[in-house]
Amino acid sequence: MKILVFGSLAGKKKDFQGVLTRLDINLNNVEFIDDYSELKRYPVDTLRFSTKYSDLLIGPIPHSQTGMGDNSSLIATIKSNPSEYPRVQFLEANNKLKITKTNFEKAIISTRYFDALDEY
């Protein structure tokens, strides 16, 4: 299982990786797509029915992305078809999408991935 962090980070990636290390999560099991141009080009249709990821943590993302078809945004698509995607959490601060170290840690603790760690 892997976690996909999809959106711009409010801080340095190494600080978020430090949160993962502190929680004893292998850094290889968390993938960050946080660069604007990479987010825009990412084929979001591959997330639908994905078995690669157990969880999606979504923050600020471009409105239009590759592979969305007729949909207006990835967020609207996920909200209208939640059962077609891995467990999704939208990370917010001050009523806006924002990935902070605080909400990131809270989100990680409530992932399927983290739940599975407790089983071992």
Residue 4 is encoded by which pair of tokens?
Answer: 């996909």
The tens place of each residue's pLDDT in the chain, 120 residues long, gives 899 999 999 999 999 999 999 999 999 999 999 998 898 888 888 899 999 999 999 999 887 655 555 666 778 888 888 999 999 999 999 999 999 999 999 999 999 999 888 665
50 burial (CB, 10 Å; 0-12 / 13-18 / 19+) is: middle
Type of residue found at 52? K
Residue 35's pLDDT is what?
92
* Tokens of residue 75, six digits: 């967020």
Cβ burial, residue 44 (10 Å; 0-12/13-18/19+):
buried
Q: Contact, 90 vs 110, CB < 8 A?
A: no
Q: What is the pTM of this model?
A: 0.89
Q: Could you tell me the residue ranges of all domains in the chain?
A: 3-119
Pick the CATH number of 3-119 from 3.40.50, 1.10.1610, 3.90.1150, 3.90.1690: 3.40.50
